[in-house]
Amino acid sequence: MPPFPEVLTVGETMALVVPARAEPLESAVDFRVEPGGAESNVAAHLAALGRRAAWAGAVGDDPLGRRLLAQLDALGVDTSWAGRDPGSPTGVYFKNPGDGVHYYRTGSAASRLGADTVAGLPVAGARLLHLSGITPALSASCEELVDALFAAADAAEVPVSFDVNHRPALWPSRAAAAERLLGLARRARVVFVGLDEAEGLWGTSTAESVRELLPEPAQLIVKDGAVGATEYSHSAPAAHVPATPTTAVEVVGAGDAFAAGWIAAWLDGADAEARLAAGHARAVLTIAGTSDVPREEENDG
């Protein structure tokens, strides 16, 4: 068994199909197939920063699933706790540069995960458990999985970082998403949320109003796109760091990169300004390209 990871991430990884160059899907000829999923993206960026990061979840026992696991391994992500489901497929999504993404994930292997998955995971050995609001929306059993993961982390006194990651298409209604995601965020030690995301869910139009709604997390990071990010803490004044100027090619996946940069700095004991700056620095790498994960040549882990 490999050493316990510093950061354990749990969720769905899919096959991301993206044009090899920044051009529309309908006219592209050459494509890349890479891992893509909020939690595995975070793990891949952490590995590129030299941290021991593991991704746990499930892929289909199919060529795409085996490809994704091999690619994550090559990126330095520990996939020892990832399962292969012979009865369900690996999810797929297509990125249309500059115009969003298209998902094909219904009935995926990851959607069949449940609370019984937790017993085999190294939650107690990690320094941090990272989850997102995508997982509880995948299925009823995945909702139970997330609750069980929070309970296991609480029992082991392992802090949880939670990226709200609201995906409207996965939820039956905005009201259902708002209630469930707020409840989960209130249970986490660290919370990442976009200001526009928070406004759409909860009607909070400023970073300060998000903090008023969410006083529980020890660290709350409110991201405001190209403007910057603000961190609220129980032990220090609020800190704001402007975003790093860059030419955007594709913003999908930038939030995961930001979370990884912030987490790596947090593991190092950095202060709020340094954590936010590290998040911005990592996000720029994703915004300037079309990949959700670091390209292998960027990985120095």
Instruction: Report the distance separating Cα 156 and Cα 119, nearest Å.
Output: 13
Q: What is the DSSP letter of 144?
A: H
Q: What value does the mean pLDDT take over residues 268-275?
A: 98
Q: Is 233 helix (H, G, I), strand (E, B) or coil?
A: strand
User: 256 an active-site residue?
Assistant: yes
Judge whether 189 and 183 are in contact, CB under 8 Å: no
- pLDDT tens digits, 74-111: 999 999 999 999 999 999 999 887 777 888 999 999 99
Q: Is the pLDDT of residue 290 over 80?
A: no
CA 124 to chain centre: 20
Tens-digit pLDDT profile for residues 125-174: 999 999 999 999 999 999 999 999 999 999 999 999 999 999 999 999 99
Reported as a single tens digit per residue, the pLDDT across 203-239 is 999 999 999 999 999 999 999 988 999 999 999 999 9
Task: List, in order of start, the domains of the chain with CATH numbers.
Answer: 7-296 (3.40.1190.20)
pLDDT tens string 26-37: 899 999 999 999
Phi/psi zone of residue 215: left (φ > 0), alpha (ψ -120 to 50 degrees), beta? Answer: alpha
Give the active site residue among 78, 256, 268, 271: 256
Contact (Cβ atoms closer than 8 angstroms) between residue 242 and residue 283: no
Residues in Cβ contact with 284 at an 8 Å cutoff, skipping those fewer than 6 apart? 244, 246
